Amino acid sequence: MEKKSFVRKYPVFCVFAVLAVLIVLAAIFAPQLTHGVNPVKGSLKEAIKAPSAEHPFGTDKMGRDIFTRVLYGARTSLSSTFILVAVIFVIGSLLGVLAGYFGGWVDAVIMRLADMMIAFPGLVLAIAVAGILGASTQNAIIAIAVVSWPKYARLARSLVMKIRHTDFVAAATVTGSKTVYMLWKYMFPNTITTLVITAATDIGGMMMELAALSFLGFGAQPPTPEWGSMLNEGRNFMQSAPWLMVYPGLAIFVTVVVFNMLGDGLRDILDPRSNEGR
Amino acid sequence: MLVVLIGISIITFLLTYISPGDPVRNMYLAQGLMPDEAQVAQQREEMGLNDPFLTQYFRWLGNCLKGDFGTSFALGKPVVTLLLSRLWPTLKLALMSMILMVIVSVPLGVLSAVYHDKPIDYIVRAITFFGVSIPNFWVGLMLILVFCVQMRLLPVVSSGGSFKDMILPAVTLAVAMSAKYTRQVRTAVLEELHSDYVVGARARGVQEWKILWGNVFPNSLLPLITMLGLSVGSLLGGTSVVEVIFSYPGMGNLAVSAITSYDYYLIQGYVLWVAIIYMLINLLVDISYNYVDPRMRLRR
Amino acid sequence: MALLDIQNIDVSYGRHLTVKDCSIELEQGQICSVVGESGSGKTTVIRAVLGLLPGGGEVTRGDIVYDGKSLLKLSKREWRALRGHDISMIFQDSGAMMNQTRLIGGSFVEYIRTHEGISKQDAWKKGAEMLSRMRLPDPDRIMRSYPFQLSGGMRQRVGIAMGMTYQPKLLLADEPTSALDVTTQAQIVRQMMELRDEYGTSIIIVTHDIGVASYMADRVVVMKDGRIEDQGNRDHILNHSENEYTRRLIAAVPSLGGKRYV
C-alpha cells in the first residue's frame, strides 16, 4: 500500500532511481556483462574496427573493445564521483557546521578560507592543482574537492546559524547539554536534508568536472578505462574512427542525465517547496 | 576585498608547494632532461627555493606587484609576455560565447517564464535540462566531428583566432552556459512576475507587453547581472578545456601545456591573472548593481 | 439598473472552491463594505470583479454584470480599457503595487499613456495635477520619488489619486486602511467618501475593520468561509441583524478613540 502510493506519487523519481541502479549494476557486473573480455588488453589485429555485431561500439587503436571499456569506465567514473561527492559533502558540511556553531575566530578562519577558494573560477584552480599534484584519479578528486567544499560549508553554516538562536537550542544550552551532543542532536538533523539534496543534485556536475580533468589528461591515466580519458584518446582518430568519441561521450551524457533527474526528483520529495515549477 | 586578494595570492603561491618531489627536478624531467645534482642545486638557489617560506612569498608577491611574474622555464620568455599575447584571444572567445549565451537564453528564459507550465515551458525546460547534462568538451568534439570532419565547413584547428575560428569554440562554451542561464532567467522572471506591482499594473490596465518589457524584465536584470558575473567563473574554467579541444591560442591552452611541463611561474601567472579577472568582473557587477537598483542607491 | 451586479458566483482554484454562491448588487454612488475574517473570500470577490484572480483562479459559476455587460465575456482588449479607467482598484499598500525600481512619476506616466495617447510630458503633467487635486503636498517631489521613499499613508493617497485619474464609476478598495495608523486611516476614509460625494463614484471596500466598514458604507456584506453570511443596509446590519455571526463580529469591535461609530 505504502509502496504503491510512493511510486504513483513520484513516478519520475522512481523511473530514474531504477535507471541509476541499472547503471550502478552495469558497472559492478561489467566483467559478467562483457563475458570476461579484458578492457585493458586488446589485439592489434582488431584495432580501429567500426561497430559490428562482435564489437557493438567498435574498437580503439589498441584493438580494445569500446563497449567493454565503456562499461568498465562506469566503474571508474561512478566510484570516483561518489567518493568526490562524499568527500566534499563531509568536509564542507563539517566545516560549515563548526563555523556556524562556534562562530568567532573558528567561523572567521573557515569562512575566509572558503571565500578565497570561491574567488577562483573553480575549474581553473582544479586544473592547476590536479596537474601539479600529478595526473591520477585520486589527485583529480582532491583537486575538485579543494575547490568545491566551500559551497557546502557556506550552506551548512547558514543553516546552522538559522537554528542556533532558536529557543529549543537555547534551552538545551541552558540545561547544560554537551557541545558534541548539541551538534549531533540539533545541528546535524537540521542541516542534513538540504545538504543531501545539494549533494544529490551535484553528482552529475561533479561527474562532468572529473571527466573534464581526465579529458585534459589530469585524471585517470591510460590504460585505465575512464570516459574522459577515452575521449581524449579518441580525439586523434576523429576522422577515421568517430565511434571512439561518440560512445564514451554518450555514456557520460546518459549517466549525468539520469543522476541529475534523480537529484531533482529527490529534491522534490524532500523539499517540495523548492520546486521550481511553482 | 584586500583579504581575498591576499588569499588568492597565497593560494596561487602555494601551488608550487603542493608539487610532489622537487619542483626543479620536475621541471627538468618534464623537458626530457636528466639533471645532475649540481644543476638542480644551482637552479634551486637561482629560484630562491632555499629561502624561508615567507621570504619567498613576499619576494614573489613584490615581483608580481611590479609586473614581473617570472620567466617561463619551458618557453624561455617572460610570463607576462606570454600571458598578454594569449589574453585577448581568450577574452574575445569568452565575450563571444557570452553574447551567444545571452542571445539564446534571455528570449528562451522569458518565454518559458511567461508561458509558465504551458507546453512551451516544458520544451524549454527539457532543452535546458539536456544542455546542463552534456559535458562541454564532448559538445566541442561532436561539433568538430559534424562541421569540420563530415561537412568540412570550418577549420578543425583554430590557429588564428579569426572570427571563423571562434565560431565552434564559442558555440561549445555557450551550450552548457546557455542552458544554465536560461534556467536562471526563467526563475528570475517568474519571481518578478509574482510581484505585487504586476497585479497593480494589470489593475491599472497596463498592457502585458509593457508590464513584461518595461517592468518585469528590467527588474529581473538585477539578479541576472549577478548570475552573469558568476557564470564568468565557469566560463573562464571552460575556456581552458575548449581551447585545448580546438587548439585555440588562448591562455587556457597555454596553461594546460604549462602544467604538463611543470612550468610553475607560468601556471602561477595564469591562475593569478584569471582569478583577478574574475574578481574584477564581479566587482564591476556589484558596482553596476548599486547603480541599477534605486533601492541600493538611495538607502545606505 | 445596478451599476454592478454580481450574480451567484463561485470562484475556484483548481478543485478548491474558495467563494460559493456570492451575490452583491451595487447602485451608482453607493458604498458597499464587504467584511469578514481573513480567508473569508472577500478579497477574492473583488479581484474576480476586475478579472485579476491570482494563479489559476476562475469564476466557475454565475456572472458579473457591469453597466449591463457581462465582465466574464470581455476580450483582453476590453478588459484593459476597463481596468484603471472605468473600474479602479486600490490595495492595502498601493505603494507596493508600483514597480519599486521606477519613479512614481514613471509608473503614473505608464498608466496614463495606457489609456490616452498623449506625450510623456503631458502625461507627467497630468499625473502631477491629479496628485495636487487630491490635495497631496508637493506633487512634483512625489512624482520624482520612488515608492519606498514615501510614508505608508502618503503612498496610499498616491494610490487613490492614481485610481481616480479617470474618475472611474467604480472603485474597488482592498483593505485600504489596514496597514495605516489610526490618524492616517481616518484621513483615507474621509478622502474616499469625498470621492463619492464629488464624483459619484461607487465604492466596494473590503475590510476586516467593522469600524471603518460601518462608518463608510451604505450597504454591508458579511462574508464567512467563502459564503455571504449576511447583507443589508448599514442600519440593518449594525442594529437589527438577526444573524448570530454578524452580531458577534459587531460586539467584538473595540471603541475607537472613545468614539464609537457603531
Nearest-Cα residue of chain A relative to residue B149: A239
User: How many residue contacts between B and C have a Cβ separation below 8 Å?
Assistant: 77
Q: What is the pLDDT of residue C170?
A: 93
| Residues B212 and B115 sit within 8 Å (Cβ to Cβ) | no
Q: What is the pLDDT of residue C109?
A: 95
Nearest-Cα residue of chain A relative to residue B267: A128
User: pLDDT-derived band of residue A278, with 50, 70 and 90 as boundaries?
Assistant: very low
- CB of A235 within 8 Å of a chain B CB? The answer is yes
pLDDT above 50 for A98:
yes
Residue C227 C-alpha, separation from nearest chain B C-alpha, in angstroms: 25
Highest mean pLDDT among A67-76, A196-205, B99-108, C209-218: B99-108
C256 DSSP 8-state letter: B
- Which residue from B265, B177, B174, B273 is spatially nearest to B227, judged by alpha carbons? B177
- Give the nearest partner residue to B141 out of A133, A211, A249, using CB atoms: A249
Average pLDDT over residues C127-135: 91
pLDDT above 90 for A83:
yes
User: pLDDT-derived band of residue B157, with 50, 70 and 90 as boundaries?
Assistant: low
- Which residues lie below 8 Å from residue B122, measured CB to CB, with a gap of 6+? none
Burial environment of residue A102 by CB neighbours within 10 A (0 to 12, 13 to 18, 19 or more) = middle
- CB of A73 within 8 Å of a chain B CB? The answer is no
- CB of C185 within 8 Å of a chain B CB? The answer is no
Average pLDDT over residues B64-81: 84
Report all structural domains of chain B as residue ranges with CATH numbers, in order of start.
2-65 (no CATH), 86-262 (1.10.3720.10)
Q: Between chains, do C54 and B202 touch, taking CB under 8 Å as contact?
A: no
Average pLDDT over residues B59-87: 86
Q: Between chains, do A131 and B267 touch, taking CB under 8 Å as contact?
A: yes
C256 φ/ψ angles, rounded to the nearest 5 degrees: -95, 120
pLDDT above 90 for A176:
no
Topology classification of domain A79-277 = MetI-like fold (1.10.3720)
CB proximity under 8 Å: A 97-116 to B: 112-113, 115-116
**Residues above pLDDT 90, as percent of chain B:** 24
Q: What is the pLDDT of residue A206?
A: 93
Q: What is the pLDDT of residue C257?
A: 45
Average pLDDT over residues C1-6: 86
Amino acid at B12: T
The residue extents of the domains of chain A are: 79-277
- Give the nearest partner residue to B203 out of C83, C102, C146, using CB atoms: C83
Q: Between chains, do B262 and A116 touch, taking CB under 8 Å as contact?
A: no
Which positions in chain A touch B278 (Cβ < 8 Å)? 119-121
Q: Which three cell numbers stand for residue A182?
A: 548539541
Which positions in chain A touch B256 (Cβ < 8 Å)? 127, 131, 216
pLDDT by residue (tens digit) across B232-279? Answer: 888 888 888 898 888 888 898 899 888 888 888 888 899 999 998 898
CB proximity under 8 Å: B 167-186 to A: 183
Which positions in chain B touch C148 (Cβ < 8 Å)? 295
pLDDT averaged over chain B? 85
- CB of C84 within 8 Å of a chain B CB? The answer is yes
CA distance A55 to B67: 56
If you compute the radius of gyration of chain C from its CA atoms, what whole number of angstroms results?
18
Higher per-residue confidence, A167 vs C40: C40
Average pLDDT over residues C220-239: 88
Of A245-249, B157-161, B265-269, which range is least confident? B157-161
Nearest-Cα residue of chain B relative to residue C113: B206
| Residues A206 and A84 sit within 8 Å (Cβ to Cβ) | yes
pLDDT by residue (tens digit) across B179-190? Answer: 999 999 999 999
B216 DSSP 8-state letter: I
Half-sphere exposure of A252 (CA within 13 A, CB side): 32
- CB of C196 within 8 Å of a chain B CB? The answer is no
Nearest-Cα residue of chain B relative to residue A249: B138
- Which residues lie below 8 Å from residue A224, measured CB to CB, with a gap of 6+? A40, A76, A137
Average pLDDT over residues C146-160: 90
Nearest-Cα residue of chain A relative to residue B134: A253
- CB of C94 within 8 Å of a chain B CB? The answer is yes
Q: What is the pLDDT of residue C143?
A: 95
Scored b (16 or more CB within 10 A) or e, C72-90 reads: eebeeeebbebbbbbbbbb
Average pLDDT over residues A257-268: 89
- Which residue from A197, A250, A218 is spatially nearest to A73, judged by alpha carbons? A250
C-beta atoms surrounding B19 within 10 Å? 18
Burial environment of residue A11 by CB neighbours within 10 A (0 to 12, 13 to 18, 19 or more) = exposed
* Residues belonging to chain B: 300
Which positions in chain A touch B141 (Cβ < 8 Å)? 231, 235, 238, 245, 249
Which positions in chain C touch B218 (Cβ < 8 Å)? 101
Average pLDDT over residues B173-199: 91
Q: What is the pLDDT of residue B216?
A: 93
pLDDT above 70 for B160:
no
Which positions in chain A touch B234 (Cβ < 8 Å)? 121-123
C-beta atoms surrounding B20 within 10 Å? 10
Residue B134 C-alpha, separation from nearest chain C C-alpha, in angstroms: 34
Which positions in chain B touch A131 (Cβ < 8 Å)? 256, 259-260, 267
Q: What is the pLDDT of residue A149?
A: 92
Q: What is the pLDDT of residue C171?
A: 93
- CB of A218 within 8 Å of a chain B CB? The answer is yes
CA distance B207 to B210: 5
Nearest-Cα residue of chain B relative to residue A275: B187
Query: Chain B residues within 8 A (CB-CB) of chain C?
Result: 196-197, 199-207, 210, 214-215, 218-219, 222, 292-295, 298
User: pLDDT-derived band of residue A251, with 50, 70 and 90 as boundaries?
Assistant: very high
| Residues A228 and A209 sit within 8 Å (Cβ to Cβ) | no
Q: Between chains, do B237 and A253 touch, taking CB under 8 Å as contact?
A: no
Average pLDDT over residues C221-229: 90
pLDDT averaged over chain A? 83
CA distance A237 to A244: 8
**Interface residue of A112, A118, A123 to substitute, partner B, most B CBs within 10 Å:** A123
- Give the nearest partner residue to C83 out of B202, B222, B293, using CB atoms: B202
Q: Between chains, do A119 and B244 touch, taking CB under 8 Å as contact?
A: no
**Interface residue of C97, C116, C158 to substitute, partner B, most B CBs within 10 Å:** C97
Cα angle value A238/A240/A241 (rounded, 5°): 70
- Which residue from C80, A25, A263 is spatially nearest to B203, judged by alpha carbons? C80
Burial environment of residue A171 by CB neighbours within 10 A (0 to 12, 13 to 18, 19 or more) = exposed
Q: Cα-Cα-Cα-Cα dihedral of A85, A91, A92, A93, to 10°?
A: 100
CA distance B209 to C110: 12
User: pLDDT-derived band of residue A91, with 50, 70 and 90 as boundaries?
Assistant: very high
Residue B217 C-alpha, separation from nearest chain A C-alpha, in angstroms: 19
CB proximity under 8 Å: C 108-147 to B: 110-111, 114-115, 146
User: pLDDT-derived band of residue C32, with 50, 70 and 90 as boundaries?
Assistant: very high
pLDDT above 80 for B48:
no
Q: What is the pLDDT of residue A273?
A: 58
